[in-house]
Amino acid sequence: MEVEAKKDFGGVDKTRKACSDFLNSLNIEYEIQKEMGYPRMLYKKLNN
């Protein structure tokens, strides 16, 4: 699943926190995947 903000919450850190707060409110466990856009994720999957 990917979560993305539709607005700026006052900077990158605050926007990232808003996304985390949203996931926490739904009791969804997650880990942040930095620098893992779709092409990199596909490459990683195909090379494992």
List pLDDT tens digits, range 8-24: 999 989 998 999 999 99
Give me the pLDDT at residue 39, please: 84
Mean pLDDT, residues 14-42: 87
> What does each C-alpha distance from 3 to 20, 46, 47, 48 come to in angstroms?
9, 23, 25, 25
Residue 1 has pLDDT above 90, yes or no: no
Give me the pLDDT at residue 20, please: 92
Instruction: Read off the pLDDT band of 32 (50, 70, 90).
Output: confident
Residue type (1 letter), 26: L
Residue ranges of the domains in the chain? Answer: 12-46
Which stretch of DSSP H or E encloses residue 9?
A: none
Helix/strand/coil for 43? helix
Whether 3 contacts 22, CB under 8 Å: yes
